[in-house]
Amino acid sequence: MSQKDYILVRIDTVLFGDFFNLIKTNKSYIEKGFAGTVRRCATKEGAKELYNQWVSDEKKGDAYSFFINHSKSNNLVGLVNVKNIDKQARKAEMGYFISQQATGKGITTKLTQEVVTYCFETLQMNKVFLRVFPENIASQRVALKIGFKQEGLLRHDYLGHNNQYEDVLYFGLLKFEYQYD
Q: How far apart are CA 161 and CA 37, in angstroms?
A: 10
Q: How far apart are CA 152 and CA 131, in angstroms?
A: 10
Q: What is the model's pLDDT at position 181?
A: 63
pLDDT tens-digit map of 38-97: 999 999 999 999 999 999 999 999 999 999 999 999 999 999 999 999 999 999 999 999
Percent of the chain exceeding pLDDT 70 equals 98
Q: Which long-range contacts (CB under 8 A, 24 or more apart) does 148-157 make?
A: 148/172, 148/173, 149/173, 149/177, 157/131
Kindly tell me the sign of the dihedral angle through the C-alpha atoms of 95, 53, 15, 161: positive
| 173 has pLDDT over 90 | yes
CA 5 to chain centre: 19
Q: What is the model's pLDDT at position 163?
A: 86
pLDDT tens-digit map of 99-125: 998 999 999 999 999 999 999 999 999
User: What are the structural domains, with CATH classification, of the chain?
Assistant: 3-177 (3.40.630.30)
